[in-house]
A and B are shown apart, each in its own frame.
Chain A
Amino acid sequence: MIEIKDLHKSYKMGKNSLHVLKGINFNVEEGELVAIMGSSGSGKSTLLNILGMLDELDEGSYTLDGVAIKNLNETKAAQYRNKFLGFIFQSFNLINYKSAAENVALPLYYQKVPRKERQEKALKYLTQVGLKEWANHLPSELSGGQKQRVAIARAMAAEPKVLLADEPTGALDSTTSYEVMDLIQKINDQGNTILIVTHEPDIADMCKRIVHLKDGVIIEDKKIEQVRASKYV
């Protein structure tokens, strides 16, 4: 599903150049649930941004579902993001003046899906995350966990190839975190490929594979026995 070969990325900070990713080789198969771990400054967010086509790579290659991701202009990148990727953010990033259902339907709007179908799909995914009754509520009327579940439903709505989650539980207490992880695991169980950036070991343990980044290189890449979040819920 994802193939990354010899990926380099550096940022220019005035005269100095900051080499963030120093040759990453990394493959993800369909249906995997991967945790990317590392301390801050290890390059894990940069890697996720490149995977999410929000940032460009300097060297190496990135292939997503057989499509080479290279030299994209903003329009093309937007179309690929819409088609291939679903984003889950630490701070949810719901649009505050849109109801839960409207937020979920937004990626479908950019896919030019007709309104009626959008609403149906939005409701379907909200049901899947257990928030059907909250469809017409604004994000300000939802709790943190509910917001993240809406965000997950939104990421799912476009039926992407890969879900990218950047610290999805970073703003949540542990109980809510486990609820969200439970949901992510269930989505993974259905065969969806999911990448999670986290620095919390207990969250990482709930994935099927942990990739450890340090100073821009992968120092450890191991498959683990998944801890089911449902045990804690």
Chain B
Amino acid sequence: MGFLFDRNTWQEIFGSISKNRTRTIITIIGVLWGIFIYIALSGAAKGLDNGFDKVFKTVAVNSMFVWAQSTSMPYDGFKTGRPLQLKLEDVQTIQNRIPEVQYIAPRITQGDFGSEPVYTVRGQKSGSYILNGDYPIYTKISTKKIYDGGRFINQEDIDQSRKVIVIGERVEQELYTKDEDPVGTWIRVGSVYFQVIGVHKLAQGVSFDSDTAMFIPFTTYQKLYNSGDNIGYMCIAAYDNVDVVQVEKDIKTLLKNIHRVDPEDERAFGSFNLGAAFSKIMGFADGLTFMSLVVGIATILAGVIGIGNILLISVKERTKELGVRRALGATPAEVRNQIVMESVFLTLIAGILGVILGAGFLAIINSFTKDVDFPYTNPTVPIPYVIGALVIMVVLGTLIGLIPAQRAVSIRPIEALREE
């Protein structure tokens, strides 16, 4: 393999390639196109992947919501159509009985799902907003970005049923003037005054809460509305590596058991499983990545076969030249090496150019989609993929180059030199 590092070998190869310019360019375009498609496709797929990741970054992706509806089957002496109510004890029971659950946050809400929003007043300004009674653990499921100087509800607030409130971005815009700092001020919610402790920023991407939502401690809500142990719905996050669909089933079965509902009753409890939806989307993204890989490799393969084809023709054209080289003392191995190296070199040059063009293309796409409301971020191709593609190309280039090289060697110099 010493010839690989011999400067003379490369000079000879470079000479032959650079002086058959048309052939070289045509050959290069084939592989260049292949690797370009590969890079562009897998980069685009990765961008979509990243985009989804970014969208779901603000929430626990394997989370779900469970709420109570009313029964649709008679059971255990109860008639059909019995309204159900989730209780705080249910939360504890789920936490104790289903180990796959990482976080569970009960929530009670006013103003959402068709109920009357809460009339809120500050000075001369007023508006109607959604009011949620929450536990601090809720932020583990849906991160809340709180503006400078503020905070979310903490355990102390719960323990002492403090009259503190976190308001949404739009609430701030509607109740305050631009240069006012809402933290520390008081607003009237319904008939009770609350001190504002923070403003939550609307998360980019998926958010469970709108910017008109306000949050108060769960215990305060209980006292304010006299809601007892009732809860509106629960937000549940499962551990990362568990099957969220199964967890959802387990939770519902448990709830049916507690509330004495027919196990077959599908309508008693409603749920939305974000984890399942998320894995569908990610499955789509994975499928896209896989497809781009297959298409890309196939295109590269076609390009490399094209190189082999053109080299085969060029060997025919160069019969005489190769015969002369043999007469001048080129051994069959040297001729074979030269043809194979030409193939590999062309493939590699084309590949590198293709990678550069592909990267440029991705950069352009990135700059176009930067401010577009579309889940597409930072389209990149992992370096191992690029190197892998280049390695595949070198291997294929060698193999395909062997065909014309063998042809070149099989022509005896005397035949090559025969005068026409």
Contacts and interface: CB of A to CB of B under 8 A. Distances in A.
Q: Secondary structure of the B side of the interface?
A: helix
A82 B328 contact: yes
A79 to B, nearest CB: 7
Interface in A37-95: 49, 52, 54-55, 74-75, 78-79, 81-83, 87, 89-91, 93-95
Contacts of A106: 325, 328
A81 B332 contact: no
Given A49-B414, A54-B414, A98-B19, A83 B333 contact: no
Interface residues of B, number: 28
Interface in B324-361: 324-334
A91 B419 contact: yes
A96 B15 CA distance: 12
Interface stretch (A109-117, A121-129, A174-182, A200-208): A109-117
Contacts of A54: 327, 412-414, 417
Interface stretch (B5-13, B30-38, B88-96, B186-194): B5-13
Contacts of B327: 52, 54, 81, 87, 93
Interface in A7-64: 49, 52, 54-55
A78 B326 contact: yes
B126 to A, nearest CB: 86
B20 interface: yes
B328 A75 contact: no
A168 interface: no
A110 B330 contact: yes
Contact of A112 (B8, B325, B332): B8
A111 B16 CA distance: 19
Contacts of A78: 326, 329-332, 334
A138 to B, nearest CB: 9
A158 interface: yes
B162 interface: no
Contacts of B330: 78, 110
A160 B8 CA distance: 22
B15 A115 contact: no
A145 interface: no
B308 to A, nearest CB: 21
B6 to A, nearest CB: 8
Contact of A110 (B323, B328, B412, B419): B328
A90 B419 contact: yes
B240 interface: no
A144 B304 CA distance: 40
B101 to A, nearest CB: 74
B229 interface: no
Given A93-B417, A112-B8, A114-B8, 14 more contacts: A54-B414, A74-B326, A74-B332, A75-B331, A75-B333, A78-B326, A79-B331, A91-B419, A96-B321, A98-B15, A109-B12, A110-B334, A115-B7, A158-B328
22 contacts: A54-B412, A54-B413, A54-B417, A74-B326, A74-B331, A78-B326, A78-B330, A79-B331, A81-B328, A81-B329, A82-B329, A93-B323, A95-B324, A96-B321, A97-B15, A97-B20, A102-B15, A107-B328, A110-B328, A110-B329, A110-B331, A158-B329
| 7 nearest CB pairs, A to B | A82-B329, A97-B19, A110-B329, A54-B414, A78-B331, A107-B328, A75-B331
